[in-house]
A and B are shown apart, each in its own frame.
Chain A
Amino acid sequence: MNEPEIDLRGPPNYRDRAFAKLTAGAAGLVLLILGLIAITITRRSLPVFHEMGLGFFTTKRWSPPDSLFGALPFIWGTVFTATIALVIAVPISLGVALFMTQVAPPRLAKPLVYLMDLLAGIPSVVFGLWGVLVLSQHFDLGRSFLTAGIILAIMIIPIITSLSREVIDTTPPGDKEGALAMGTTRWEMITETVLPHSAGGLVGAVMLGLGRAMGETIAAALVIGSALGQMTLRPLAPGNSMPAVIANEWGEAQDLHKSALIALAVTLFAMTIVVNLIATGIVQRSMKRGQGT
């Protein structure tokens, strides 16, 4: 690493400087917006914490006429539906990713990639309406945690698949060829070289999917059932999640009720940021390892 430093950028030029400032400004703006969002919503959620204290997180009842706001069942609903979504989506996504990278001929893999991207671009309200019409009515699942979980699973499969595919693609061809040369089957090659190599990245991909599942609003609001106070493990019970409550109740909410809904948003904001930070960390670490540095 002792190469002489050669500045390939040439002499500084006003356009370069302007460009550098502009891009730095854009990057700074994103941070500024994120910070401002955090500050505003936290400030506007304060009245409910003033009233409820930390009981906001541990109370099971949600009764606007009584000015009683407990987020626990909604936090539970968010975690429960996201878990159902992961249980369904992770095996399917990994299967598709492995098929695209290890099994399918390139002729077939390419269209599959396009298809997955297409699925990722469908607006969530379309998934939600499909869920109402097909899952809850035609298949008689009703509006429940399970219905919401299935819709969320369909929505996060494209993300988890495409990230997993990229992670799996970083497996050095030498490793794979070596394994095959030693007489392993394709299955052994995948379990012995590909999966251990990409484990960290795959966990990261799953967690990014989890972040999206937790924050999904419209689709969840349409199919989750909007039942209050549900803290059950029964997947067919109607329930509620934080984003669904916000979308449903915001229009007519006033005063403390409004503040309570904003507090739900703060809670969700914090939870998704933590999940995304963990995910990004894991992905970056494993990417570095994958590139052999």
Chain B
Amino acid sequence: MIKTSLFTGALALLGSVTPAVAFGAGVTLNGSGSTLSKPYQEVAIDQFRKAHKDIKINYGGGGSGKGRQDLADAVVDFAGSDSPFKEADLAKAKGGSILYFPILLSPISVSYNVAGVDKLQLSAPVIAKIFQREITKWSDKAIAAENPGVKLPDTAIVVAHRADGSGTTQNFTEYLNGAAKGVWKLKSGSTVEWPSDTQAGQGNSGVAQIVKSTQGAIGYVDLSDAKASGLKYANIKNRAGKYIEPTPAGASAAGDGVEVKDNLVFSALDAKGDKAYPITAQTWVIVYTKQTDKAKGEALKAYLTFLVKDGQGLLTDIDYAPLSKGLQDKALKQVDKLTLP
């Protein structure tokens, strides 16, 4: 992960990366973008190909921003992105109007490493103060107030965040910007101005590695990487005032409570609902409405249908949450909006 993200970053400096070329007959679909949804794309492509041997699909990763840029330049057939296009960028897209297909929800965990503490509850304002270095000890009163009965040590807090620009950072800071309004000062973005006495790691796995190896550390890591590294994670207070554990079920519950626009754009962050896990990110596959190649367009329709329907069963195993039924139906209906020549 470390290697690929940096490598593509370096390549991107030289110009955009050409997607892999397919050999032989059949159709090839190329996609790039979100690294959050890459594990799902990989297992989905694997399964999809069992039924469609003549369709080859490549998904290149590289980050949501790169995916949107590649689609706008029409060098890929679909983009994976954790956030929608900005209006101004959309105007520059070569292929005209686009369609958003939500494919999964992902809980972002707040993972920690404090000896003797196995259960931790945090609310957005406290997380905000920890990450902007206003709370620097685990024994701080604000943390203790949310964790009655837990013996918190005097250990110094080490904050870990992403070194690379990331959709995970974007979602995490957007959550704090909304849920800790008035407390959070670093605003939101793929890179924000972290205090200089914090630590940075490459990718979710890099942050997980810092948390795992540093006593007193805390960091935001997507659930599948947190689990893979064997990290402990906090229960986060949601809008209903309940402390919820990051699980696929909690993320699905967040998906139930969101307001979805007609174009299927929504934000699952800080969603309503008793069981909703509040730091839940979403990710879309974005395609052009007007397809210019008949064979490719048909293949794309088949793959999109698989992603939002049959593929959804693959998600829980890799610690992502499937779409709610309502959202899934809307996405399926939207597949018909693709026009072929």
Contact = CB atoms under 8 A, between A and B. Distances in A.
Interface of A: 61-66, 68, 125, 129, 137, 143, 217-218, 221-222, 225-230, 238, 246-254, 257, 265
Given A222-B202, A252-B190, A253-B65, A229 B196 contact: yes
Contacts of B202: 221-222, 248
For the complex, would chain A's binding face be called helix, strand, loop or mixed by DSSP majority?
helix
Contacts of A250: 9, 12-13, 165
A66 B191 contact: no
A252 B170 contact: yes
Nearest to A73: B196
Nearest to B187: A65
Contacts of A238: 196, 199-200
A66 B163 CA distance: 18
Contacts of A218: 6-7, 10
B192 A222 contact: no
A66 B187 CA distance: 8
Nearest to B65: A252
A11 to B, nearest CB: 45
Given A137-B213, A222-B6, A227-B198, A251 B164 contact: yes
B196 A251 contact: no
Contacts of B66: 251-252
Interface in B232-263: none
A253 B163 contact: no
Contacts of A228: 193-196
Contacts of A64: 189-193
B196 A254 contact: no
B192 A65 contact: yes
Contacts of B165: 248-253
B102 interface: no
A208 B198 CA distance: 34
A221 B213 CA distance: 20
Nearest to A253: B165
Contacts of A143: 199-200
A129 B170 CA distance: 27
Given A249-B190, A251-B12, A251-B164, 15 more contacts: A63-B187, A63-B193, A64-B189, A64-B190, A64-B193, A65-B187, A222-B6, A226-B163, A228-B194, A228-B196, A230-B196, A251-B9, A251-B66, A251-B165, A254-B89
Contacts of A254: 65, 86, 89
Interface residues of B, number: 41
Interface of B: 2-3, 5-10, 12-13, 62-66, 86, 89, 163-167, 170, 173, 186-200, 202, 213
B6 A66 contact: no
Query: Which of B2, B7, B9 has the most A CB atoms < 10 Å from its CB?
Result: B9
A257 B191 contact: yes
11 contacts: A66-B193, A125-B3, A225-B199, A225-B200, A227-B199, A227-B200, A250-B13, A251-B5, A251-B8, A251-B66, A252-B165
B271 to A, nearest CB: 23
B188 A65 contact: yes
B65 A251 contact: yes
B193 A61 contact: yes
B62 A251 contact: yes
A63 B196 CA distance: 12
B189 to A, nearest CB: 4
B234 to A, nearest CB: 24
Contacts of A257: 191
A147 to B, nearest CB: 13
Contacts of B63: 251-252
A137 B193 CA distance: 26
Nearest to B66: A251
A125 B189 contact: no
Contact of B166 (A63, A229, A230, A252): A252
A222 B4 CA distance: 12
B192 to A, nearest CB: 6
B338 to A, nearest CB: 27
A252 B199 contact: no
A112 B267 CA distance: 60
A221 B63 CA distance: 17
A96 B154 CA distance: 50
Contact of A125 (B6, B188, B213): B6
B164 A248 contact: yes
B193 A247 contact: no
B200 A247 contact: no
> Which 9 pairs from chain A and chain B are nearest by CB?
A252-B165, A251-B63, A252-B190, A226-B163, A226-B200, A65-B187, A63-B193, A252-B65, A65-B189
